[in-house]
Amino acid sequence: MEPHSLTRQKSFEVHTAGRGTYDLSQEIARIVADSGVGTGMCHIFVQHTSASLIICENADPTVRSDLESFMARTVPDGADYFQHRAEGPDDMPAHIRTVLTTNTLAIPVCRGTLGLGTWQGIYLWEHRVHNHRRRLVVSVQGTEQA
């Protein structure tokens, strides 16, 4: 008997405490496990223009703080050459940071689990200084787990 195709989708919110990275790995892994998909793809999308998604080293948190330092130098808050300042000096830099990274990820599902490498984690990267609620949509597609 051939395996059936499955598509599952779940949305959830992440409450951030301001700029920084937030580990989503366990929540995404739980969604994949609950989907029943054995082989396929997991697609993650953040529905915002000032937060992004990254796959990053999960063992040493200084990697993520170094990324933040890099972005702060590359896209400084309050630069006088930004015209868009509707929500403060971190508004346009947050949009640029999102464009430079991404708001979507695709990760293979292998034997019912995320196909991440040993040192990889999935993170929401909040680019605004103040706290926000970020909405994510996770779609898991593939063939059912045997």
pLDDT in tens, 24-72: 999 999 999 999 999 999 999 999 999 999 999 999 999 999 999 999 9
- Structural domains in the chain, CATH included, are 15-140 (2.60.120.460)
Confidence tier at 1 by pLDDT (50, 70, 90): low
pLDDT in tens, 110-121: 999 999 999 999
Judged by phi (left if over 0) then psi (alpha if -120 to 50, else beta), residue 86 lies in alpha
Sheet containing strand 37-46, edge to edge, reads 5-15, 133-144, 37-46, 104-110, 113-114
In DSSP terms, which residues pair with 123 in a beta bridge?
A: 23, 54
Q: What is the pTM of this model?
A: 0.95
pLDDT at 2: 74
Q: Is the Cβ–Cβ distance between 8 and 37 less than 8 Å?
A: yes
Q: Is the Cβ–Cβ distance between 38 and 111 less than 8 Å?
A: yes
In DSSP terms, which residues pair with 121 in a beta bridge?
A: 56
Q: What residues have CB less than 8 Å from 26, skipping those under 6 apart?
A: none
pLDDT in tens, 77-101: 999 999 999 999 999 999 999 999 9
